[in-house]
Copies of this chain bind each other. A is one copy, B any other.
């Protein structure tokens, strides 16, 4: 599905080095799985589901600390009360469209029940953005087997970007959007760690798109590439942040809020119609669900966190751009077309400003 990644176009975001895959999967043990539905009969599907497994094969018995920040809460991320109260994740995370959150949530539970994973009950975290411009959202395409397939497909290594999984029908800065990912290696006084990010990018107006500060959206005006309908100006972005550092929940929350910085750099302002909700988890501590004694933890001192904050900001910025450079032009529901960001023009405009 992937056309290119922003870095392959000679455009480098920030100053920190990415990990080997420049993906959330650079955080050891983090797996990603997509299931994509694209068909035109009996109704138009341009949708799917993406799952992130915070700890491969073990999240159910070896929980990770986590927290969220809502920059603009016009969206859904289930499981948020539990995240606030306990500060950990005990299940995979999933991202899909607005009207499929329920089926995905219950499907995650059913999968865990059927596979005898975890305890007596579950409060999974499922987030969403709206794909109703390109997808017939009220056809409710997804069923639980699709979620199972995404779970079974989850793996480490390179992550498909663009028109895949939950990102299939998404639109970003009025170009075709979708899934993007990136990572940064972070050297702190506490040692070297990785910060990885995955976004489902579905927000923003064209004039506000910036690439490394360059006003690309303004330069690539409406004449250049046809704009989709103005209802596409609103939208949402879900950001999932992972790190292998031993953080505590209050620190995951700090990382989550830094996604705002990366988003703002690309041109996000948190429009009213946007559900901009950010989740961060840290695998460096191990939380056995049924611990019978004190749990031993480590914690990066707060004053070592600046490189993590910068890593999150850079990786979010790059992950959004990767969604844009990966996603291909798509025609969908009611014959609507959303065009991909033209890569040659992108390079031309950025070069002009350098």
Residue positions of A touching B, CB distance < 8 A: 15, 70-87, 98-107, 109-110, 113, 120-123, 126, 130, 132, 137-138, 140, 189-191, 207, 210, 213-215, 231, 246, 248-250, 254, 257-258, 260-261, 264-265, 268-273, 275, 277, 287, 290-303, 305-306, 309-310, 313, 353-354
A94–B72 alpha-carbon span in the complex (Å): 24
On chain B, the residues within 8 Å of A305 by CB distance are 272
Chain B nearest CB from A102 CB (Å) reads 3
Main secondary structure, interface of A, reads mixed
User: What is the bound-complex CA distance between A98 and B113, given in angstroms?
Assistant: 13
Q: Is the CB of B81 within 8 A of A277?
A: yes
Bound CA–CA A258/B85 (angstroms): 13
CB-based contact B300/A294 at 8 Å: yes
User: Which of B82, B109, B207, B296 lies in contact with A74, CB distance below 8 A?
Assistant: B82
Q: What is the distance, in angstroms, from A253's C-beta to the closest C-beta of chain B?
A: 9
| CB pair B86 A74 closer than 8 Å | yes
| CB atoms of A130 and B140 under 8 A apart | no
Residues on B with C-beta less than 8 A from A120 are 130, 132, 231
Interface hub of A70, A75, A258, A301 (most chain B Cβ within 10 A): A301
Chain copies in the assembled complex: 4
Q: In the complex, are the beta carbons of A271 and B306 less than 8 A apart?
A: yes
Contacts of A207 in B (CB 8 A): 15
Whether A76 and B123, one on each chain, are in contact in the complex, defined by CB atoms closer than 8 angstroms, is yes
With A and B bound together, what is the CA distance between A138 and B273 in angstroms? 36
Chain B residues, Cβ within 8 Å of A72: 85, 254, 257
Across-interface contacts of A273 in B (CB, < 8 A): 303
21 pairs from A and B in contact (CB 8 Å cutoff):
A73-B81, A73-B84, A74-B82, A74-B85, A74-B86, A76-B123, A78-B101, A81-B275, A99-B106, A102-B103, A102-B104, A102-B109, A110-B140, A213-B213, A250-B250, A257-B270, A261-B264, A272-B306, A295-B300, A297-B298, A353-B353
User: What CA separation (Å) do A122 and B130 show in the bound complex?
Assistant: 10
Residue of B nearest to A311 (CB): B269
CB distance from A188 to the nearest CB of B (A): 10
A264: contacting residue among B73, B107, B126, B260, CB under 8 A: B260
Residues of B within 8 A of A298 (CB): 294-297
With the chains together, A292 CA to B311 CA distance in Å? Answer: 20
The contact of A294 among B104, B138, B215, B299, by CB within 8 Å, is B299
Known contacts A15-B207, A189-B292, A261-B269; can you find 5 more A-B pairs with CB under 8 A?
A76-B78, A78-B101, A102-B103, A190-B293, A269-B310
B76 pairs with A70, CB closer than 8 A? no
CA of A31 to CA of B107, assembled, Å? 31
A-B pairs, top 5 by smallest CB distance, nearest first, are A213-B213, A73-B85, A73-B81, A102-B106, A102-B102
Chain B residues in 8 Å Cβ range of A84: 70, 73
Whole-angstrom distance between the alpha carbons of A83 and B75 in the complex?
10
* Chain B positions within 8 Å of A250 at CB level: 85-87, 248-250
What residues of B have a CB within 8 angstroms of the CB of A272 in the complex?
A: 302-303, 305-306, 309
Determine the chain B residues whose CB is within 8 A of the CB of A303 once the complex forms. 272-273, 290-291
Among A215, A265, A270, max chain B CB count under 10 A is at A270
Cα separation A242 to B216 with both chains bound (whole Å): 31
